[in-house]
Chain A
Amino acid sequence: MVAVRYETAFKLYPYEKVSDQSGPVQRHPVVIVGGGPVGLALALDLGKKGSPALVLDDHDGAGLGSKAICFANRTLNIANRLGACGPMVDKGVVWNVGRVFHGDAALFEFDLQPDAGHRNPAFINLQQPYFERFLVDEIRVAQAAGMPIEIRGRNGLTGVTNHGDYVTLDVDTPDGPYQLEADYLIACDGARSVTRDMMGLSFDGRVFEDNFLIADVKMKADFPTERWFWFEPPFKDSGQSALLHKQPDDIWRIDFQLGWDIDREKEMDPDRIRARVDAMLSSQTGDVPDYTLEWTSIYTFQCRRMKSFRHGPVFFAGDSAHQVSPFGARGANSGVQDADNLAWKLDLVLKGLADDVLLDSYATEREFGADENILNSSRATDFMTPKSEISKLFRNAVLDLAGKHAFARPLVNSGRLSQPCTYDGFDLFGDDALVGPAVSRPGAPCPDAPFDNGFLLDHLKGGFTLLSIGGTAPPSVTAGGLSTQVLHVDAPSQELAARYLGTADAAIYLIRPDQHVAARWTDADATQISGALDIACGRPA
């Protein structure tokens, strides 16, 4: 019998008995453990490409509680590629502006997306259960159209045997245990990954000695839709920092940094939490608005990652592979980028269009992404919680200067909000034979831009794309059985020209299925392009 570990916010995939549970052991090409944002995005991506994906989750829906709330532009672009973005942006709270305070002083504000011409905003705030629900809604649409995705709720993993070229899984259900086999197993089962533990793999890193109190409160308040962050907040008993941020459904996320030596039980007393929240809210409005406490918890965090995200046929993605502090929204966002990176590679390998070695690049690329996130997250934490007298001295010097002098503002670190990484110098990326903008160099995720009454990224949805701007459209190129689609832009919008041409008159881009630029040229012949396509698929040139 599979145990219930938490309450669900939405029941999305109720348990149903399937034939695998009684017949002989069935082999599946891809089994995904964990139906969170990462596992669901991966399943949807694979299914839409026509590759089968089976998701196992030990619950029957999205877990209730304080989880990811902040989804970044790149994640929304990925969700848009998967057809699930519309409801997320409709439901989410769109925000671009952040405001930083030190004590009573308002230091400065920042705008994360000052330039126009993107389909999606810099960020939306949306409770994670909604994010999962919208992915499942789109999975149901895909299933109805015959795409090979299956989700099995209340299917908990109890054993993993790695045979080197396939995996045997022991699964527990309300009707008892059964076994499955998988060519590839993708562990998207979170920071406490059962898969990782059962395989005896380590998860090392740095523990930060600090406690944060989360209070999600429901209230009607007309605070602006901005991220407000206080260093040394002026309101009573608020700790070393505090955060106020709006979510949908009139919910506001409040965070208080309480320090290391606290009495957790005492701090979780609702009266004590209400006193803190009262002090914060009344500092803004003069009196305490009506509110209810929807969710409270105290968390500590670590920054750590697995040494390798690939162990033969087993892959780790999202929090199972890497964990960061919440400041910067680099958890769920980087996990969805993991799924985005892995899906097309698995798809090509399953279809025989690329060798298994292509999958190694998932690990190298995303381990690099995780390192970048951990670096940013650790630096933010060190700024917010100075670890020595001198680090506190410099931290406060920065804050003292930031109110008056613009130069000090970039040094203020209340979380460097999630940005996708650029795979500079990685093996699968080819020529940069264009004197073009850095923002779209090989390795970078394609920036969006207005195009054809819509947006460019709307057109980068299938496999590899040859984007040609100006000049004449190149013919589609085929290499190793794989063809590119061709997207020709005769008269680019101002933003598209700025982001893809710079001072050049014409350009040709080879773009991966995950919308990262593989190579670019001023002009290229079929041999150059097919060579770059080979490199992008991990085939020796």
Chain B
Amino acid sequence: MTPLITDPNLPDPDGFYAELLDAHGGCSADETHALNARLVLLLANHIGDRDVLRQALAAARRA
């Protein structure tokens, strides 16, 4: 089973963080939630590994 990567893996973390927030720029609360839901679905499909996704769901719930 491929383990979920929980060590730093993102190049330029500050830059990614700013892009994530920019994507939500000008959104109402409802629009922001909808955007997040679409983002989760897009990323989940990209990962495409149910074991990794299950670990991610569990880690998100524990945090």
Residues of A within 8 A of B (CB): 393-394, 396-398, 400-401, 405, 407-408, 411
Spot the interface stretch: B20-28, B36-44, B52-60.
B36-44
Q: Which of A397, A405, A407 contacts B37 (CB 8 A)?
A: A397
Contacts of A393 in B (CB 8 A): 33-34, 37
Write the nearest CB–CB distance from B29 to chain A, whole angstroms. 11
Closest 9 CB pairs of A and B: A397-B37, A407-B45, A397-B38, A393-B37, A394-B37, A393-B33, A397-B41, A401-B38, A397-B34
A/B interface sample: 20 pairs, CB < 8 A: A393-B33, A393-B34, A394-B40, A394-B41, A396-B34, A396-B37, A397-B34, A397-B37, A397-B40, A397-B41, A398-B41, A400-B34, A400-B38, A401-B41, A401-B42, A405-B42, A407-B45, A408-B41, A408-B45, A411-B41
- Given contacts A394-B37, A401-B42, list 5 more A-B pairs with CB under 8 A: A393-B33, A397-B41, A398-B41, A400-B38, A401-B38
Write the nearest CB–CB distance from B44 to chain A, whole angstroms. 9
A407–B40 Cα distance when bound, in Å, is: 13
Q: Which residue of A lies closest to B35 (CB)?
A: A397
Q: Which residue of B lies closest to A411 (CB)?
A: B41
Main secondary structure of the interface of A (DSSP, over half): helix
Q: Which residue of A lies closest to B46 (CB)?
A: A407
Write the nearest CB–CB distance from B43 to chain A, whole angstroms. 11
Q: Which residue of B lies closest to A394 (CB)?
A: B37
Write the nearest CB–CB distance from B53 to chain A, whole angstroms. 13
A393–B36 Cα distance when bound, in Å, is: 10
A269–B39 Cα distance when bound, in Å, is: 44
Q: Which residue of A lies closest to B38 (CB)?
A: A397
Write the nearest CB–CB distance from A411 to chain B, whole angstroms. 7
Q: Which residue of B lies closest to A407 (CB)?
A: B45
Q: Residue among B33, B34, B37 with the most chain A CB within 10 A? A: B37
A398–B40 Cα distance when bound, in Å, is: 10
Q: Residue among A397, A400, A411 with the most chain B CB within 10 A? A: A397
A394–B38 Cα distance when bound, in Å, is: 8
A411–B38 Cα distance when bound, in Å, is: 12
Contacts of A396 in B (CB 8 A): 34, 37
Contacts of B40 in A (CB 8 A): 394, 397
Contacts of B37 in A (CB 8 A): 393-394, 396-397
A397–B42 Cα distance when bound, in Å, is: 10
A400–B45 Cα distance when bound, in Å, is: 15
Q: Which residue of B lies closest to A406 (CB)?
A: B45
Q: Which of B1-51 contact A (CB under 8 A)?
A: 33-34, 37-38, 40-42, 45
Write the nearest CB–CB distance from B31 to chain A, whole angstroms. 11
Q: Residue among B33, B34, B40, B41 with the most chain A CB within 10 A? A: B41
Contacts of A411 in B (CB 8 A): 41
Q: Which residue of B lies closest to A389 (CB)?
A: B33
Contacts of A400 in B (CB 8 A): 34, 38
A408–B34 Cα distance when bound, in Å, is: 15
Write the nearest CB–CB distance from A389 to chain B, whole angstroms. 9
Contacts of A408 in B (CB 8 A): 41, 45
Contacts of B34 in A (CB 8 A): 393, 396-397, 400
Q: Which residue of B lies closest to A402 (CB)?
A: B41
Contacts of B42 in A (CB 8 A): 401, 405, 407
Q: Which residue of A lies closest to B45 (CB)?
A: A407
Contacts of B33 in A (CB 8 A): 393
Q: Which residue of B lies closest to A396 (CB)?
A: B34
Contacts of B41 in A (CB 8 A): 394, 397-398, 401, 408, 411
Q: Which residue of B lies closest to A398 (CB)?
A: B41
Contacts of B38 in A (CB 8 A): 397, 400-401
A400–B38 Cα distance when bound, in Å, is: 8
Contacts of A397 in B (CB 8 A): 34, 37-38, 40-41
Write the nearest CB–CB distance from A314 to chain B, whole angstroms. 41
A394–B37 Cα distance when bound, in Å, is: 6
Contacts of A405 in B (CB 8 A): 42
A407–B42 Cα distance when bound, in Å, is: 8
A396–B41 Cα distance when bound, in Å, is: 11
A397–B34 Cα distance when bound, in Å, is: 6
Write the nearest CB–CB distance from A475 to chain B, whole angstroms. 46
A394–B57 Cα distance when bound, in Å, is: 15
A407–B38 Cα distance when bound, in Å, is: 12
A394–B33 Cα distance when bound, in Å, is: 9
A398–B38 Cα distance when bound, in Å, is: 7
Contacts of A398 in B (CB 8 A): 41
A407–B34 Cα distance when bound, in Å, is: 18
Write the nearest CB–CB distance from A188 to chain B, whole angstroms. 39
A396–B42 Cα distance when bound, in Å, is: 14
Write the nearest CB–CB distance from B37 to chain A, whole angstroms. 4
A232–B11 Cα distance when bound, in Å, is: 41
Contacts of A401 in B (CB 8 A): 38, 41-42
Write the nearest CB–CB distance from B48 to chain A, whole angstroms. 9
A503–B37 Cα distance when bound, in Å, is: 43
Q: Which residue of B lies closest to A395 (CB)?
A: B37
Write the nearest CB–CB distance from B36 to chain A, whole angstroms. 9
A405–B42 Cα distance when bound, in Å, is: 9
Write the nearest CB–CB distance from A203 to chain B, whole angstroms. 34
A405–B38 Cα distance when bound, in Å, is: 11
Write the nearest CB–CB distance from B61 to chain A, whole angstroms. 13
